[in-house]
A and B are shown apart, each in its own frame.
Chain A
């Protein structure tokens, strides 16, 4: 991993309120980086697929760039790509 990527990743993990950072591969079955035990990978993968399908169904030239789910306790942010999913869970009100 390049130094810059590592640095950025480390910084993200140390930001205020960040609970976990996960990078999963495209099928949602292998996590490349994970800092939290809870299994968000498989579930979020399916949701991302569905969201992307929705966006593209409305306009096939469009594509999903970012997905944010705000819940009572956390905010889950997903940056999808065709090769991986970058997931960060943050508790912003901490």
Chain B
């Protein structure tokens, strides 16, 4: 019966029938579109044979049309007519020819059925064929109908190619169908076979819609003529040499494999961390202007400069790392040197030399040195500042040899905890100062850590050039400032109002002021040009703050100096340094032209001052009186080296001289209240302690003595001997702490701490007065 395959897939036929030819003849009659389209799609080539067949068949059409008997009919085993209806309507002419051909050649009829089935299956097209096919489906009457439609299709003009196509395909199909059918008959007669015929979708491969022209139209004639011409052509085609069947073979070029290798694509990972400061910097620099950023980006593109490129110092590591990885440049150091000519203005890698010379580097070195020294001197400085000393936890503990000695030490310690002593902390010295004699020391009034030391010989022989060093507590090994002077420095004093101004008196009589803040080595002001300058060594200079001056313009600080030529001069700044003689020692009274050695202004009343002379006299003078002394105190037998008012008791003062004595005076008494002697050497310096009224220190040639009048008025409480060969020349108490500074003739300034000096509470003013009172009482 029908083949097993509902949808035969034969190569020739495979393409599903496609085009519906649909002949537009709108007769409404059911048209069966036979495989004309079907075949057309498959075979585009025109074959003569088929054409002739078609032509022949056309003739036969009419005759055979009437024979419904030749209609292909499919019967299943049960005798049921299951003739599948054709799925499309071919053109009338085409259909007719096809049919005829089929009828003519077909014997089994199975082909047709198959065709139909295929046609059906492949038709789903919604175009013309659509409605027809569906309605056609499954009805046996359709076949008859198809015939009738075929009859009615007369005037259709159809694409002749369709006829040919169909015929060829039909012939092919026929052959196969027959073979299959025979097999079935013999073998499986008794089998019940289910056949399912499914309409498949329609795939249009080629749709060439037919154009029909009505007979009545104007073009009818031309179209007819054209058709006739074409038919003539087809007829003549047979033996015509113009038409040759020919086949072609396409050349398949020999394949060739070709490899291309591209350059390796280097992948680079770039990463950056967006930190808070990174963003802050970007915002800031963006805000500052494009100019700063654009050279950076330009530089980034220039490979040579890239290796040393520093866009942003804080981000430099990441950037430079990534940049170096993307460009292959020679090592940084070598390229840097070559980079010099390519330097782009802003933000290039600075020359290493420049780095080392920069200000910042100097500053850093300075700070670093201080820190290193702090590490070294930390215990000493802590002691100075009266802080608890921290023990280094990692330092190797000193091995104590035996238990016995430890006990001894501890007992000694106990003793030493009781006796007051001077503990040496450190000394200010360096090779610059060695060999110079320390003549004077002064603390800076504003910065208590800054010390000015003047170096110069006292004697008129051995005069070297003088030296002034400003030392800081933070660096005991090197002075902060060094000033060299032509002649030895004998005295110096810091100004209180202008803390960086240092007044210096020298052995040749000149006075100069230095500005210690600047790094200049020359004095700000020099008195050498002054007409009234001192002609002899200036032994003391002092800045005195006058609360009310004699005349209106004397308010403020003035510089007072005393010199060996017998004058005490007040200096003020005009175009140079000019002075007014405050005091002229006239020949009249007690004094002759006595060279003055020292003076001191009254701490509260700046009009009154004391002056000491080489003769050993102390004169009390007043600023308002230029001609005469107010008082004279005579006790010393040698030149007075120092006079100093007590900072606590306003009418008590001390004086020391080369006659081995220190005298304590009360200003209303013309004889000293107390005298102190300890050794037979000249006392060079004496100073009241700034902390206790009863304590003062004295320096003579070989020792430092600390006297505590509350403890003893006969002997010094603490005595410290100088190193052999060195003379101690000056003394200075530290203001805030219990330390004293002692200068010697070797250029060293030693810092000692007063240990275990128990004076009692308070400033002991009352104690001092008691002592004085009791002494006086005992004298009377």
A residues neighboring B (CB under 8 Å):
1-2, 4-5, 8-9, 11-12, 15-18, 23, 25-27, 29-30, 32-33, 49, 52-53, 56-57, 60-61, 66, 68, 72-73, 75, 77, 79, 81-84, 86, 88, 90, 92-93
**With A5-B362, A25-B349, A26-B316 in contact, do A57 and B275 touch (Cβ < 8 Å)?**
yes
Contact B316 A1 (CB under 8 A): no
Q: B365 at the A/B interface (Cβ < 8 Å)?
A: yes
Contact A32 B356 (CB under 8 A): yes
Contact A30 B356 (CB under 8 A): no
What are the nearest 8 A-B pairs in CB distance? A56-B277, A60-B280, A93-B395, A82-B313, A92-B375, A79-B364, A60-B277, A8-B365
Give B748 Cβ to nearest chain A Cβ, in Å.
Answer: 18
B431-490 contacts to A, CB under 8 A, are 477-478
Shortest Cβ distance from B283 into A: residue: A60
Give A12 Cβ to nearest chain B Cβ, in Å.
Answer: 5
Contact B313 A11 (CB under 8 A): no
Interface centre among A12, A68, A75 (most CB of B within 10 A): A12
A25 contacts across to B, CB distance below 8 A = 349, 352, 355
B residues neighboring A (CB under 8 Å):
275-277, 279-281, 310, 313-314, 316-317, 320, 332-333, 336, 349-350, 352-353, 355-358, 360-362, 364-369, 371-373, 375-376, 378, 392, 394-396, 477-478
Shortest Cβ distance from A58 into B: residue: B276
Contact A77 B368 (CB under 8 A): yes
**With A5-B356, A9-B365, A86-B364 in contact, do A53 and B373 touch (Cβ < 8 Å)?**
no
Can you list 8 residue pairs at the A/B interface with Cβ under 8 Å? A1-B357, A8-B362, A8-B369, A32-B352, A56-B280, A75-B375, A83-B358, A86-B361
Contact B364 A81 (CB under 8 A): yes
Contact A83 B355 (CB under 8 A): yes
Contact B356 A23 (CB under 8 A): yes
B279 contacts across to A, CB distance below 8 A = 60
Shortest Cβ distance from A16 into B: residue: B376
Interface centre among B355, B395, B396 (most CB of A within 10 A): B355
A60 contacts across to B, CB distance below 8 A = 276-277, 279-281
Contact A5 B276 (CB under 8 A): no
B333 contacts across to A, CB distance below 8 A = 29-30
A93 contacts across to B, CB distance below 8 A = 392, 394-396
B336 contacts across to A, CB distance below 8 A = 30
Instruction: Provide the bound-state CA to CA distance between A19 and B372, in Å.
Output: 11
A53 contacts across to B, CB distance below 8 A = 275, 277, 314
Shortest Cβ distance from A93 into B: residue: B395
A68 contacts across to B, CB distance below 8 A = 371
Shortest Cβ distance from B317 into A: residue: A49
Instruction: Point out the residue from B277, B360, B392 that lies within 8 Å of A92, measured CB to CB.
Output: B392
B350 contacts across to A, CB distance below 8 A = 83
Instruction: Provide the bound-state CA to CA distance between A18 and B371, in Å.
Output: 12
Instruction: Point out the residue from B313, B352, B362, B371 that lies within 8 Å of A4, measured CB to CB.
Output: B362
Instruction: Provide the bound-state CA to CA distance between A57 and B364, in Å.
Output: 24
Shortest Cβ distance from A80 into B: residue: B364
**With A56-B276, A83-B350 in contact, do A18 and B364 touch (Cβ < 8 Å)?**
no
B369 contacts across to A, CB distance below 8 A = 8, 11-12, 15
Contact B313 A17 (CB under 8 A): no
Interface centre among B336, B367, B396 (most CB of A within 10 A): B367
Instruction: Provide the bound-state CA to CA distance between A17 and B436, in Å.
Output: 29
B378 contacts across to A, CB distance below 8 A = 92
B349 contacts across to A, CB distance below 8 A = 25-26
**With A5-B356, A12-B372, A84-B355 in contact, do A26 and B361 touch (Cβ < 8 Å)?**
no
Instruction: Point out the residue from A1, A29, A52, A84 that lies within 8 Å of B314, measured CB to CB.
Output: A52
**With A11-B369, A15-B369 in contact, do A27 and B320 touch (Cβ < 8 Å)?**
yes
- Contacts beyond the supplied A8-B365, A88-B372: 7 A-B pairs with Cβ under 8 Å: A15-B372, A25-B349, A27-B332, A57-B277, A61-B280, A73-B394, A83-B350
Shortest Cβ distance from B377 into A: residue: A16
A92 contacts across to B, CB distance below 8 A = 375-376, 378, 392
Instruction: Provide the bound-state CA to CA distance between A12 and B275, in Å.
Output: 36
